[in-house]
Structure 1
Amino acid sequence: MRMVKALAQAFLRLLWILTLAKCKIPDTHVTCLFSEDCVLPCSFKPSGNEIISWYRQKVLLLSHSQQGGDQPDQPPKDHRTRMYLLQDQLSRGNASLHLSQCGIKDRGRYSCLVNSTLGQQESFVIMKVEAPIKMVTMEISKNREIQCLSKDIFPAPRVQWSTLPPKANLRSTTHMAPNTEGLYSVQSKLRMFENTLTYVCTINSTYGSQSWKSSLQEGELIGEAGRDLSIPCMAPQNLQNFSLTWTFTRTNDESNVILSYDSLTRRTSNLWESRVGLEQDQVLMGDGSLLLHNPESQEHTGTYTCTFSGFQNRHMVQTQVTIRSTLQRSLTENMPNAGGQAERTGKSHSKMWVIAVVVAVVAAVTTALLLYRKQRANQRQANRTTVEDTEMQPMETIKTSDDLPMDNCQLTAEHNNGHT
């Protein structure tokens, strides 16, 4: 009976081993985060007498026996300090490998080998290491190139540029380089076109686990000293649980935070309390426009930067604000009236020409009258001289009445008497 029972157990054990050989266990894929702890799974049927070994690329990393503890053939000490099994889990059939502070060199294909009285069981784990994207920033260089920047990424990501509204034939230059730890820094450049565009840089992780988007828009604004000014800034669509930050930069100076807002707590930190503010009802709807109260020309002229930060999304609006003084405003306002002044001067000149013409005409008429009067006077003087000359001539003497001429009445009477 004992022999039959032993043969039956041997047959069942052989059948179980053959079943394990025929049923290949598929590889398990695990992605571990750089510099963080990670667990590679391994399970088995416990019998209380197992020898557990972990390998990477067929190189022994760790070996453990339920009866005698660690095996004589041990891996290097640095591996033993970073890799371990949980003792209280072995009796439950859990031989998962725990790794602390994963690095780029830890990637690879791991195998978990369990030898026991029940036979041998082997499973495989494909381990990937990823340093996720933590931040994507954008900035504008002096030669009008917009840069998209990120660092400490693994594996090397993919960079894509776009604009709003869309613009074709975007030609960018992207440079990636690993540091001593194998993490990549990304610098992508794009030549800017006009200020009306919103530039969008998207960085995607190689494993497809992340897609970060950063956008930047430029603007210009002119304000007047002593008059309130609204500096516009709108959040991207569907941006939720965001933070808003306003910074101010004078020429050749460092940026200083002047206001911040958190949509979750709805709290505002205002370092320019008497100068700037937000519309609380509007900011929750994505309108983060900054209200600048009673600005001064020199103190508040500079670059105001609005930054919306959300989940894997960052949007910036840089506005160059010029605050004009009262004198500048007066000069500007008077410049358009220069034409009016010229117009008035022209009208004055026209009036003067009219007056000059009238005066000239009056003078000409007066001169003509004077000449006419002078001519008449000369003519009268000439006539008077002629009369005087005639009166000065000697008269003929009449001695008798017969010498006197007869008038018509006398002639008529004599004529009538003669016929009588």
Structure 2
Amino acid sequence: MAEAHGLIIMLLIFLEKLSHSKVLLADANVTCIIPDDCLLPCSFRPVGTVVIHWYKQQTPVHSYYYNKDQFGHQNKHFSGRTCLFNSHIPQGNASLLLRRVKVQDKGRYKCYTSTRKGNQEMFVNLEVKAVIQSVIMEMTEETVTCSSYNIYPVPQVTWATDPPSAQEALENSTIKTTDHKGLFNVESTLRILGNLSNYTYYCSFIAADKTQVWIASWKNQEGIIQEEGLALSIPCIALDSSQNFSLTWTFTSSTEPTVILRYDTKTRHSFNLWEGQAELDQDLLLLGDGSLLLLKPDIEEHSGTYTCTHSGLQSRHIIQTKVNITVASIIVDDRSVQRSWWSTAASVAFFLFTITLALPQCARQKALKTRRASQRYNGAGFVEDGLHKHLNTTARYIIGPHGDECNGTQIKFEAQDELAGCTPNTAEDETEALPEATEEEQEENPVGPLVEGNDGQPSCSVEREEFENIEPVHTS
């Protein structure tokens, strides 16, 4: 009996010591996103009151005892950034909430708990990372550059083209720097291969843990030339099949880039600065075709560079197109017709002006010819100096009986085609010799007898004869 009682006492002592021994648990691994809040897990077996201490290596992070938080020994790096779930401590929850995680928070943390039943230690390995938020892609005539900022740890950068190029042709220069927060800024530059519009350039930023790949691409399309007033479609086809994406169209002319249209497939929100001038096809847009339709492009307003940006969850694809709006050919024809009409009108006006000035002169020349012709004919039909101009006219006249002088002789000439011209005759034309009259013509044109007037002077007879085509008569 004595031996049995001794064994029982020894067992109780062992159990008591065991209850007050330190318990070690397996490490927990946690990865937190910068600058989000992070939870470091810790639990214990609640028995009465408890003492909790959190350490990062030997640095005090947070303490709790006497049923309240104790900040007297907390390191200033964690000041205002830690807390426990006090209402859950009686249930055995000693987890620590670390707010606004930083690169410097990375490391191994210890959770120490103590109750009247014993002590416990639990370790948490904290990893931090700053995800790739976006990749900015820029292109010049010689290089294409991809940049990303505030990343941790440093990512890997790769390049590719479509159509594919040999890797040795894709040698790039990548620069990695850190800021005061310990985050990485990465910039990678690749030299343009051949003609700028022959390739689509891709750059990929791969996270250090391989859990994230961010892809950006850029393509310069062949320029488009279109006549003003004719509808024009500027292509923009998505390079991935993502259903949730946003589409942005930017226009650049002589001023800064202007966002003219934006559409988000997830929220269905849209913005159109060029309402009535540009639009998207909603049905094709859901299939990844974000082509921009210019309804009536104008030379001054719509000539420039159009940039289509297709943004997905982990991607951004840029397609750039230069558009040149030209004068429509039909407008050129109309202007030519207008210029021709004005030229014709000016010619007609000049012609009428010339005629207006010329008609009085023609009339004066006609009158002068008529006087000269009448002065050359005497009463007997003789021509001065024996010469006469062939007039081809019809003359009506009455000659008195003597034929030497005829006061009051009435001669009337009716001008025909030869007098229609207005060109002045020269002196030689006026003295041109006229052909002789034949005997038959003389018989047909007799000289009537003279009749004396009341005053005893010879006078012209009232008898009238008509002569056509008077020919000249030579006197002996």
Question: TM above 0.5, one fold?
Answer: yes
Deviation per residue, 1:63-118 (Å, 9 max, x gap) = 222x3645697223553422121211111111111112221111111011112222
The Cα shift of 1:257 comes to 0.8
* Alpha carbons 1:216, 1:317 under 8 Å: kept: yes
CA distance in 1 between counterparts of 2:67 and 2:38 reads: 27
- Give per-residue Cα distances to partners, 1:25-76, cap 9 Å, x unaligned: 33211122223221101111111232211111222222222x3645697223
Partner of 2:111: 112
Unaligned runs of 5+ in 1: 332-420
Specify the alignment match of 2:322 in structure 1: 320
* Residue ranges of structure 2 left out of the alignment (5+ in a row): 334-476
Deviations 1:283-325 (A, max 9, x none): 1111111111211223211110111111111111011111122
Match of 2:145, SS state, is strand
Which residue of 2 is the match for residue 132 of structure 1? 131
Match of 2:98 in 1: 99
Q: Letter of the 1:158 partner, please give it.
A: Q
Give me the whole-angstrom Cα distance separating, in 2, the residues matched to 1:250 and 1:313. 27
Counterpart of 2:191, as a letter, is: R
Map 1:10-159 → 2, pairs under 5 A: 10-15=13-18, 20=23, 25-65=25-65, 67=66, 69-70=68-69, 74-77=73-76, 79-141=78-140, 143-159=141-157
User: Which residue pairs with 1:173 in the alignment?
Assistant: 173
Tell which deviates more after alignment, 190-199 or 70-79: 70-79
Aligned to 1:358: none
Q: Higher helix fraction: Structure 1 or Structure 2?
A: 1
> Structure 2 length normalisation: TM-score?
0.63
The one-letter code matched in structure 1 to 2:165 is K
Q: Which amino acid aligns with 1:165?
A: P
Deviation at 1:3, TM superposition (A): 10
Aligned length: 325
| Superposed CA offset, 1:356-389 (max 9, x none) | xxxxxxxxxxxxxxxxxxxxxxxxxxxxxxxxxx
| Cα distance change of structure 1 residues 49 and 230 upon mapping to structure 2, 3 Å threshold | same
Label 1:322 to 1:91 Cα distance change in 2 as closer, same or farther (>3 A): same
Q: What is the CA–CA distance in structure 2 between the aligned matches of 1:243 and 1:96, rounded to whole Å? A: 40
CA contact (8 A) 1:247 1:258 kept: yes
How big is the shift at 1:237?
2.7
Aligned partners of 1:71, 1:242: CA distance in 2, in Å? Answer: 49
Structure 2 partner of 1:190: 190
Q: 1:218 aligns with which of 192, 199, 220?
A: 220
Instruction: Name the structure 1 match of 2:230.
Output: 227
Please give the residue correspondences for 1:337-348 in structure 2 after superposition, counting only pairs within 5 Å: none
Contact 1:138 1:215 in 2 (8 A): yes
User: Are 2:143 and 2:192, in contact at CA under 8 Å, matched by a contact in 1?
Assistant: yes
State the Cα distance separating 1:330 from its structure 2 match: 6.5
Distance 1:330 1:39, change over 3 A: same
TM-score by length of 1: 0.71
Instruction: Write the distance in 2 (CA, Å) between the matches of 1:10 and 1:77.
Output: 44
Q: CA deviation at 1:8?
A: 5.0
Residue 282 of structure 1: how far off its partner (Å) = 0.9
Aligned to 1:222, what secondary structure does the other structure show?
A: strand
Give the 3 Å change call, closer, same or farther, for CA 93–6 of structure 1 in structure 2: farther
Q: Is the 8 A contact 2:234 2:293 kept in 1?
A: yes
Instruction: Give the 3 Å change call, closer, same or farther, for CA 163–71 of structure 1 in structure 2.
Output: same
Residue type at the aligned position of 2:285: V
Q: 1: CA distance between counterparts of 2:329 and 2:289?
A: 33
SS in 1 for 2:299: coil
**Structure 2 vs 1, CA of residues 121 and 323 (structure 1 numbering), >3 Å: closer, same or farther?**
same
CA distance in 2, matches of 1:176, 1:278: 40
Change (3 A) 1:92 1:34: same
Cα separation, 2, equivalents of 1:3 and 1:49: 33
The alignment's C-alpha RMSD in Å is: 2.7
Deviation at 1:202, TM superposition (A): 0.8
What residue in structure 2 maps to residue 199 of structure 1? 201
Look up the SS of the partner of 2:308 in the other structure. Answer: strand
Return closer, same or farther for 1:296/1:203 CA change in 2, 3 Å cut-off.
Answer: same
In structure 2, what residue type is equivalent to 1:178?
A: T
Contact (CA 8 Å) 2:23, 2:121: kept in 1 or not?
A: no
Any idea what SS the aligned residue of 2:226 has? strand
Amino acid in structure 2 at the alignment position of 1:132? V
Q: Structure 2 CA distance, aligned partners of 1:34 and 1:317?
A: 32
